[in-house]
Copies of this chain bind each other. A is one copy, B any other.
Amino acid sequence: MLDIKVTKTTAPKAKPDEKHLGFGNHYTDHMFIMDYTEGRGWHSPRIEPYHSLELDPAALVFHYAQECFEGMKAYRAANGRVLLFRPEKNAARMQSTHRRLCIPEIPVEDFVQAVKALVSVDKDWVPGEPDTSLYLRPFTIATEAHLGVKPSASYQFIIIASPSGAYYAEGMNPVKIYVEDEYVRATPGGTGYIKCGGNYAASLIGQMKAHDLGYSQVLWLDGVERKYVEEVGSMNCFFKIDGVIRTAPCVGTVLPGITRMSCIELLEKWGYKVDCESRLPIADVIRAGKEGKLEEVFGTGTAAVISPVGELRYEDEVLTINGFQTGPVTQRLYDTLTGIQWGTLPDDMGWTQEVE
């Protein structure tokens, strides 16, 4: 149990217009910080007024990207209740990320306590407009000032919070996806399964290329054979082919998404046949599309929850999926997950936790 020292702001900011929040444009009044010092461990958990970070230009985070993050949301439910969605899963994934990056772990219960404490202090910042939420960004950075390539002797674990608008401000429209065959996101033995900054820096160029070609997201293939589907942009990706719902297995190159995991659990509960253990060749996806068996494609992630895919381009092939309409499974998952998250549906799965 962390003993969190809270220092409240004396100059609260004006709240932004909840109808025009966008994503990542506004930050709340406070932030959570905890320090790590070699020999002392994680210490000094505190909530402070939101402020700039002051770091030596030699801090390791600026040079060797020893940094990682999580993404999660707090949702405003009826009667002013505020809910979190499976925060312990984010905490566990952050531990896995820390291990791969040689950063000392944070106990799951401390992570969840810190998230709840910050949301509690900034509760008024959880927006109430439909489909808005308070986006939470826990992250860890290496702070030691040293130019040698080595794990840092000091870190900061920080949580900031950003009120965010409805992802589908203009309704849930299917997106067009470009299958990337030049750049690679991840490879076995690498960092594809963790949320480290380097994965995202490396992926920007593929994203820009897709945009230039008129596509909004990239579908990444495996880095070894360039043959199997892995992720879409920063989402996991599902394919309903001839009645079976498939998604890439999490075998070291694919981020184990919490929305992904929740979709699999719901689909299995609903009686769908789900295959999340065998790899799916892009050639099979294309063939299914041509044979009329590619019934639905959708991405899953914290930001969009569910993102229907209406078009896939791979090399010279362009597939339109389900007449560029959101499919029934895609819609049902979206409705169910968002219903649980915003508390409009009963939480039969026990996935939400209320912030006091």
Report chain B residues within 8 Å CB of A141: 62
Q: Indicate whether A54 reaches chain B with its CB closer than 8 angstroms.
A: yes
> Chain B: which residue is nearest A61 at the CB level?
B62
Cβ-defined partner of A201 (8 Å) among B50, B101, B162, B226: B101
Cβ-defined partner of A200 (8 Å) among B63, B139, B188, B234: B63
**Contact indicator A200/B64 (Cβ below 8 Å):** yes
Report chain B residues within 8 Å CB of A277: none
Q: Indicate whether A295 reaches chain B with its CB closer than 8 angstroms.
A: no
**Contact indicator A147/B24 (Cβ below 8 Å):** yes
Determine how close the nearest CB of chain B comes to the CB of A71; give it in whole angstroms: 8
Binds B, one of A148-156, A255-263, A264-272, A340-348: A148-156
Binds B, one of A80-88, A107-115, A190-198, A313-321: A190-198
A55-97, CB < 8 A from B: 55-59, 61-67, 69
Binds B, one of A12-20, A121-129, A202-210, A331-339: A202-210
Report chain B residues within 8 Å CB of A145: 27
**Contact indicator A208/B151 (Cβ below 8 Å):** yes
**Contact indicator A197/B64 (Cβ below 8 Å):** yes
Q: Indicate whether A175 reaches chain B with its CB closer than 8 angstroms.
A: no
Q: Indicate whether A5 reaches chain B with its CB closer than 8 angstroms.
A: no
A52 to B204, CA, bound (A): 28
Q: Known contacts A24-B146, A54-B52, A208-B151; is A62 also within 8 Å of B139 by CB? A: yes
A151 to B139, CA, bound (A): 19
Binds B, one of A179-187, A239-247, A281-289: A179-187
Q: Known contacts A187-B187, A189-B184, A205-B100; is A56 also within 8 Å of B52 by CB? A: yes
**Contact indicator B62/A57 (Cβ below 8 Å):** no
> Chain B: which residue is nearest A69 at the CB level?
B63
Determine how close the nearest CB of chain B comes to the CB of A323; give it in whole angstroms: 29
| Number of chain A interface residues as a range | 35 or more
Cβ-defined partner of A160 (8 Å) among B57, B160, B189, B204: B57
Q: Indicate whether A223 reaches chain B with its CB closer than 8 angstroms.
A: yes
Determine how close the nearest CB of chain B comes to the CB of A138; give it in whole angstroms: 11
**Contact indicator B204/A149 (Cβ below 8 Å):** yes
**Contact indicator B62/A197 (Cβ below 8 Å):** yes
Q: Known contacts A24-B58, A27-B58, A52-B55; is A189 also within 8 Å of B198 by CB? A: no
Q: Indicate whether A278 reaches chain B with its CB closer than 8 angstroms.
A: no
Q: Indicate whether A8 reaches chain B with its CB closer than 8 angstroms.
A: no
Q: Indicate whether A53 reaches chain B with its CB closer than 8 angstroms.
A: yes
> Chain B: which residue is nearest A71 at the CB level?
B147
**Contact indicator B66/A67 (Cβ below 8 Å):** no
A-B contact pairs, 25 of them (CB 8 A): A24-B146, A53-B62, A54-B54, A57-B160, A61-B62, A63-B69, A65-B67, A65-B197, A65-B200, A65-B201, A101-B204, A102-B208, A149-B207, A149-B234, A187-B187, A187-B190, A187-B223, A189-B226, A191-B201, A191-B202, A196-B198, A198-B198, A198-B201, A223-B224, A224-B224
The 5 A-B pairs at the shortest CB distance, nearest first, are namely: A198-B198, A65-B197, A184-B189, A24-B147, A64-B200
